[in-house]
Each structure stands twice: as structure tokens, then as C-alpha cells.
């Protein structure tokens, strides 16, 4: 199986849309009466969920009617948030067909299909014309992509001059093998971590200048601690949560992720770059 198929296979659920609908029903909601806030616990597949998206996207100077690219959009939670919050037009691309199918349904449920479109595409070879977008971002995707040089060149190609590109990825922070499985990979076979210096070097080689960066390790550990406390108080995870995406391996993946961060091997990190 080629790499793209292995990555998509890792994220494949089998019955995702119905599982999200079942979670909604448990909350007393339905697809006709759902908001992007209701969906945030399940459709933001990165450390810190919606609050991480707000912190990250606020740095991109997004404004009304901008055309924005979400690279590796998953179910499109951040894309819908950006469309609603900044009144922008957001295009998402992702390798995993089931995420695109379910994500499009979620856009219809919340009435955002006119401003958010999601497409099954590989970020390494997108079909968009040069300079198509005013800004782009990528959240927790680079860990699945070995060829970051090509990835950033491709994103640079589809951005207009002066556009900002934000990355919020899990990056290598120290030495030592990771404990697997983790949320983005079952084993090292589909995991390609790089440290922040490597990211910045690839970005600069592709034609970006770095305008900001922030280590989000402390934020991540506080987020996990709060989530664990809430689970303890409530006797388990909420009806809608990332356990729906990760299914029976959720506890193991989260425990490994926390252990890998606590031991200093990885950390979530933001980088903001500008196309020159
Ligand atoms: C951990 S999920 C994050 C999803 C989304 N960015 C979010 O934060 O909710 C990683 C996503 O990257 C996608 N992905 C990995 N490699 C990709 C590639 N080469 N092109 C497009 N999407 C890719 C996967 O299919 C998956 O949906």
C-alpha cells in the first residue's frame, strides 16, 4: 500500500457520520439544530480543540471574504470556525475520503456549505491555480508528511504574494523514539516528525519568511489535565469527543501522546510565515 493510502487508512473510521449523529442525539440535539460550537469537541482533531484554533487563527489577520486554504482539514471544524468567525471563504483539502464526506455533511448541518468547501486532495499536489488563496493554515498534519520541502513549495505556489501561512503541528522537541500508537499514526511507518528548526528551514527554502512562533507545550499539558479532570467528574468522555474518531485505541493514543510530551520528545508548536 502506498503512503497516502496508509495514512488515509489510519484515519478511516467506517461509520463516522452516523457515529457523530448518535453522539448528537445523546446530547439531545439533531443535525437540523446543531451549531459549530456543539460540533467542536469532535471536529477539531488537534491538541486544545477550538481554543487552540482561536489562539492560532487569530494570528493570521483573517478578514471578511478572504479566500483561505485549510491544508489537511480533517472534518473541517477549524474551516467552519474560520468561515463563521472571520466571515471568510474556506477551502479544505484532505487525503481521507471519509473525513471529507462527513465534513461536507457537517457543513450542510450548520448552514455553511456556501462558504466552506472540502475536497479530497493530496496537499503535495493540489489542483488549485497559482496564487489562488489569500492565506493558508495547517493544523496537526505535517507529522504525516515526509516531504516537507515539497509540501511548503506547493502551499507557497497557491498563495498570493504577501499571504500568511500558519502551522500548528506536533514537532520533535528532543531525542528518543516515540511511544506508539499516537493520534496521527499507529506506528513509525506513517510518522515523520521534524523539529521547529527544520520546519523553518524548509519554509525559508520554499520562499517564506518567518514572522512568529510559539511553543505550546505548557498549554497542551494543561489542556490534557483539564480534560482528564472533566472525565473523572463526569464518569467518562462527553457524548461528542475525539474518542469517536479514535475509537477503541483512544485511551492508549492519548496516554502515549501525553507521555511523549512530558518526556520532552515532542511538543505542539506554532509557526507563522509570510510568502515573499
Ligand atoms: C490529526 S488530523 C488533523 C485534521 C485537522 N487539521 C484538524 O486539526 O482537525 C490529520 C489530517 O491530515 C490529513 N493528511 C495527512 N496527510 C495528508 C496529505 N498529504 N494531504 C492532505 N491531507 C493529509 C489526514 O487525512 C488527517 O485528516
Confidence label for 139 from pLDDT (cuts 50, 70 and 90):
very high
Residues with CB under 6 A from ligand 1: 7-8, 11, 44-46, 72-74, 77-78, 93-96, 99, 122-124, 139-141, 144-145, 183-184
Centre of ligand 1 from the C-alpha of residue 159, in Å: 19
DSSP 141-165: -GGG-S-HHHHHHHHHHHEEEEEEE
Residue whose CA is closest, atom 16 of ligand 1? Answer: 144
Contact predicate 261/159, CB 8 Å: no
HSE at residue 173, side-chain half, CA atoms within 13 A, is 17
Centre of ligand 1 from the C-alpha of residue 94, in Å: 6
Per-residue pLDDT of 149-170, as tens digits, reads 999 999 999 999 999 999 999 9
| Domain containing residue 154: CATH number | 3.40.50.150
Structural domain containing residue 185: 3-275
pLDDT score for 238 = 86
pTM score:
0.97
pLDDT score for 236 = 86
Structural domain count of the chain: 1
Centre of ligand 1 from the C-alpha of residue 238, in Å: 23
Q: Which of 215, 209, 202, 137 is nearest to 170 (CA)?
A: 215
Per-residue pLDDT of 182-229, as tens digits, reads 999 999 999 999 999 999 999 999 999 999 999 999 999 999 999 999
Whether the pLDDT of residue 244 is over 70: the answer is yes
φ, ψ dihedrals at 123, nearest 5°: -60, -20
Amino acid at each position: 500500500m502506498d503512503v497516502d493510502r496508509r495514512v488515509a487508512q489510519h484515519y478511516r473510521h467506517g461509520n463516522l457520520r452516523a457515529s457523530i449523529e448518535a453522539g448528537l442525539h445523546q446530547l439531545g440535539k439533531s443535525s437540523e439544530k446543531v451549531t459549530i460550537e456543539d460540533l467542536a469537541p469532535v471536529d477539531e482533531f488537534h491538541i486544545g480543540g477550538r481554543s487552540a484554533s482561536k489562539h492560532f487563527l487569530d494570528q493570521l489577520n483573517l478578514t471578511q471574504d478572504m479566500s483561505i486554504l485549510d491544508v489537511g482539514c480533517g472534518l473541517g471544524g477549524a474551516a467552519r470556525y474560520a468561515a463563521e468567525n472571520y466571515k471568510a471563504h474556506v477551502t479544505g483539502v484532505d487525503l481521507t475520503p471519509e473525513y471529507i464526506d462527513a465534513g461536507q455533511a457537517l457543513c450542510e448541518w450548520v448552514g455553511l456549505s456556501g462558504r466552506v468547501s472540502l475536497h479530497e486532495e493530496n496537499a503535495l499536489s493540489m489542483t488549485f491555480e497559482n496564487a489562488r488563496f489569500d492565506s493558508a493554515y495547517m493544523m496537526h498534519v505535517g507529522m504525516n508528511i515526509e516531504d516537507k520541502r515539497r509540501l511548503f513549495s506547493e502551499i507557497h505556489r497557491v498563495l498570493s504574494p504577501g499571504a500568511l501561512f500558519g502551522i500548528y503541528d506536533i514537532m520533535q522537541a528532543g531525542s528518543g523514539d516515540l511511544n506508539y500508537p499516537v493520534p496521527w499514526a499507529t506506528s513509525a511507518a506513517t510518522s515523520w516528525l521534524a523539529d521547529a528548526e527544520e520546519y523553518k528551514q524548509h519554509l525559508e527554502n520554499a520562499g517564506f519568511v518567518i514572522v512568529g512562533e510559539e511553543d505550546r507545550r505548557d498549554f497542551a499539558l494543561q489542556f490534557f489535565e483539564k480534560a482528564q479532570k472533566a472525565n473523572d467528574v463526569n464518569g467518562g468522555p462527553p457524548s461528542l469527543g475525539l474518542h469517536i474518531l479514535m475509537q477503541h485505541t483512544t485511551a492508549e493514543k492519548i496516554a502515549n501522546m501525553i507521555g511523549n510530551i512530558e518526556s520532552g520528545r515532542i511538543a505542539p508548536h506554532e509557526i507563522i510565515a509570510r510568502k515573499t
